[in-house]
Amino acid sequence: MQTELGRIAELIEEAGAEKRTPLERKLESFGRVLVWAALGIVALLFGLGLFRGMKPFELFMTSISLAVAAVPEGLPAVVTVALSLACCACPSPRARSQAGAVETLGSNQRHLH
């Protein structure tokens, strides 16, 4: 992009490319493990139901219900509440006021020892 608008568009695109924190990456991988575990359990229950002679449509509907219920859509909210409560439990008011700094340090890739 050789125009001024093109350069501005590139700068906006670069600024919008947000890096994820380690906590976000861990939550995503944990959610992925939960989804695969739930799918495995649902498949096992479907197979056991077929083995017992249950109707396939009834098993299908039950399996879909279980799979949808197992998706961890509330996981980020639960983690946020847990971290907030842990921060409030800090004995030092100074530690509570520096929660943003702690999050920033946690998102760094290299830590000084």
Q: What's at 22, amino acid-wise?
A: P
Give the model confidence (pLDDT) of 47-106 as tens digits. 999 999 999 999 999 988 888 887 777 777 777 777 777 777 666 666 556 655 555 555
**Number of separate helices (H) and strands (E) present in the chain:** 6, 0
Q: Say yes or no to pLDDT of 111 above 50.
A: no
| Rounded Cα–Cα distance for residues 35 and 67 (Å) | 8
pLDDT digits (tens, 9 = 90+) for 25-46: 888 888 888 888 988 999 999 9
CA 18 to chain CA centroid, nearest Å: 16
| pLDDT score recorded for residue 98 | 60
Per-residue pLDDT, 11: 78
Contacts of 35 (CB under 8 A, 6+ apart): 70, 71, 72
pLDDT at 54: 92
* Helical pair 22-52 and 56-70, crossing angle rounded to 10 deg: 160
Model pLDDT, residue 100: 59
